[in-house]
Amino acid sequence: MRVRLTRKLADEVDGIDLSHDHVGDIIDLSTREAGTLIAEGWAERDRRGEGPRASIVLAFRRATDPGHVRPDEDDHLSRAS
């Protein structure tokens, strides 16, 4: 994940080496590291290049959704047909 460093009070925070980075730099980090820096107030997510409507969509089905077949029901349906 890309973040922009917004403040730097030390060369390391929670094991993340920032010794070569400066305030304003865009740095590419793991999701965990980026989340740590954002939570600590040291960085913000870099949204450049994502576009104005970029988002992450998670799709899933509930067990109660029409058309959902539970594994145990699937066995019953296979035997019945």
**Tens digits of pLDDT across the chain (81 residues):** 999 999 999 999 989 999 999 999 999 999 999 999 999 999 999 988 665 555 555 566 666 666 655 555 555 555 554
Structural domain tally of the chain? 1
Using CA atoms, how far residue 9 sits from 5, 32, 62, in Å, is: 11, 20, 46
pLDDT at 81: 47
What is the domain range of residue 22?
Answer: 2-80
pTM exceeding 0.85: no
pLDDT at 47: 82
Integer Cα distance of 4 and 26 in angstroms = 4
